[in-house]
Amino acid sequence: MADLTIMGAGIFGLTLAYSCAQRGARVRVIEKRAPGAGSSGGLVGALAPHVPENWNTKKAFQLKALRMAGDFWRGVAECSGQDPGYARLGRVQPVAADKLDLAQARAAQAQDLWQGFAQWRVLRAGDAPGLPVVAPSGWVVHDTLTARLHPRQASRALLGALQHLGVTVETGDTPPAGTVVWATGHEGLAELSRDLGREIGSGVKGQSLALALHCPDAPQIFADGLHIVPHFDGTVAIGSTSERDFDDPCSTDARCDALLAQARDICPALRDAPELCRWAGVRPRAKSRAPLLGGWPGRPGYFVFNGGFKIGFAMAPALAALMADLALDGQDRIPQEFRLTSP
């Protein structure tokens, strides 16, 4: 008998399973498709912070998660013998001419809010590290807090670590009796909405692609809502779209072509880089835009761990620790903003 069953083997489910097994719990994971089959099997893997201003609980928690990410993923790599592709190499962002004063003000706020752990610097574009970026104002922001993770490699590394720790990962969709955590992505949000009679969240489709270009030590680039993320395996990921209305959750189309054209305009080094693959999937977006954790109302012994959307990989290790406290020990340390029962 497992102490805990986790439904869903995406980044939330796998990270929670690893955190619980590290504490000595007997854990079982049940996935109806395959590990990482949903939005956790994407390409981008940008672990990026919110801007250092208008500080709130969500931003503070994300900072905590980003600070602990290095140790967490090193532990996964050591346990599994596989590289999850984690590196804190920072991020470069072009600054619009009319936003230069704001960027400078954020540098001062980062010094205080990021507690000296990382920097937010405003630089001449030519002085920025990594791939050259088109910056019409001549200025960029370089922050040293942003990290990257290879989504597919991270899932494989977690699976290897779970195998090493004796955790079973099975195919199925029927939970056993006992304590169950539902980490079932956008389909789980839809089920919650039906069960509770109110909108809890929905799925947002994303498309992305990968190019072949070897620059594993370069910072990622963020411009006009687009992520350009160099990975350790000689690929550069580009993404992603955010589509609330869609017919086919797994198809790519002209929106992916537009991503590629935009990325090559921003970063000329990508213009001759051959395309390797494209991806599309549906990410779970809670109505609150924050992760959802807590007991499933009206279902004793059931818990919900969902709503990662665009920050799931960045926050999963810290959120998993909270979820393990609750599901294993009954200790509720979940911030009010993340609670399933929040208005």
* pLDDT tens track for 44-78: 999 999 899 999 988 999 999 999 999 999 999 99
φ/ψ (deg, to 5) at 32: -80, -15
Those residues whose C-beta lies under 8 Å from the C-beta of residue 268, and which sit 6 or more positions away, are 132, 134
* pLDDT tens-place string over residues 180-220: 999 999 999 999 999 999 999 999 999 999 999 999 999 99
What 3-state DSSP class applies to 280?
strand
- Asked whether 169 and 155 are in contact (CB, 8 A), the reply is no
pLDDT cut 70: percent of the chain above it:
99
Place of tokens 């006009």: 224
Query: How far apart (Å, rounded) are the C-alpha atoms in residues 318 and 315?
Result: 6
Domains of the chain: 4-338 (3.50.50.60)
Return mean pLDDT, the chain.
95
Of 240, 234, 232, 233, the C-alpha closest to 262 is 240
pLDDT in tens, 86-104: 999 999 999 999 999 999 9
Identify residue 97 by its one-letter amino acid code.
A
Question: Read out DSSP for 37-75?
Answer: -SGGG-S--EE-PPPSSS--HHHHHHHHHHHHHHHHHHH
